[in-house]
A = this chain, B = another copy of it.
Amino acid sequence: MGRQPDSATTTATFADRLADRVVARESQIVLGLDPDPARLWPVTLGTEAPGATPGQRAGAAVRAHCAALIDAAGPACVAVKPQLACFERLGADGWSALRATVGYARERGLLVLADAKRGDIAVSAAAYAQALVGATATPFGDVEGLGADAFTANPLLGIDALQPLVDGARAAGAGVFVLVRTSNPGAADVEDLRLADVEGGGTVWERLAQIVAQLGGQPSAHSGLADVCAVVGATAPEHVARMRELMPYAPFLLPGIGAQGGRVEDIAPAFAPGRAAALVSASRSIAAAHEATGAPPANAARAEAERLRAAAWSL
């Protein structure tokens, strides 16, 4: 399905590949790639053809920015997480830059988590899986998708809408990170609502956690982890222990460290099942580290990523 053979291991599931990669790189840090064309690093441009459109030039600049960020901070990380919105706003040129960035990260040994937050009814969900981790049959031959190792998904539409995403991911040896409780204040508006009819109480996010556990099933013997994962905001560390109870085998992706106020030290329970059971995501706090320190962008990004890596690895 367009995935390069994983030369480092012979394991097949995303969870097992993740676990091996975390050990090999001694990192649980996910480098967020949220390129804003108006705030790119002053990297070398000039890669675009003469007479290129603004979109083509911006796409080339975004691609160069992401490559420079990967070169700088990637060695301290296990994965990158491109935010699809930031690429889609450049249209087809942005999608080309995204695809190139995915390839660049994979060449450097990083896993790629496409931050897409997709969710739709079954037939459309299957198409999203084709787009992100699969391929599409056409009369002219198969068209490969993005080739990500995993992607984020929105569970509002329920199990029958998630299942095609999980099935498509499994067929490609990829993973799905389902939103359970997000890192923004608005999580209180819907995700935190308390449910009736639940013995002992319970919230919408606890129900979402149960769905994640149900879809994930039993963990692999190799890693002890399942291939249906959860996005769990690091800005609500008081919930992490309960989330781990409800989803004992799910790898967690913890955004919200840094710019959104979360601290690595507060989410230790997430790592209980093992080092690969929790990934710490940081975007602006790495890419914009130079704005606080005054150091060159690459140096500041490398230092901040390494600081986060060491803090998480020591938990």
Q: Which residues of A are at the interface with B, using a C-beta cutoff of 8 A?
A: 34, 37-38, 40, 54-55, 57-58, 61, 83, 85-86, 88-96, 99, 115, 117-125, 127-128, 130-131, 134, 136-146, 154-162, 179, 182-191, 193-197, 201, 204, 207-208, 211
Contacts and interface: CB of A to CB of B under 8 A. Distances in A.
Contacts of A119: 117, 154
Nearest to A37: B138
A40 B118 CA distance: 24
A88 B128 contact: yes
Given A182-B121, A195-B193, A157 B37 contact: no
Contacts of A131: 85, 88-89, 91, 94
A186 B161 contact: yes
A91 B137 contact: no
A179 B160 contact: no
A252 to B, nearest CB: 17
A171 to B, nearest CB: 14
A21 to B, nearest CB: 25
A115 B123 CA distance: 13
A146 B185 CA distance: 29
A186 B159 contact: yes
Given A54-B140, A92-B99, A136-B90, A184 B145 contact: no
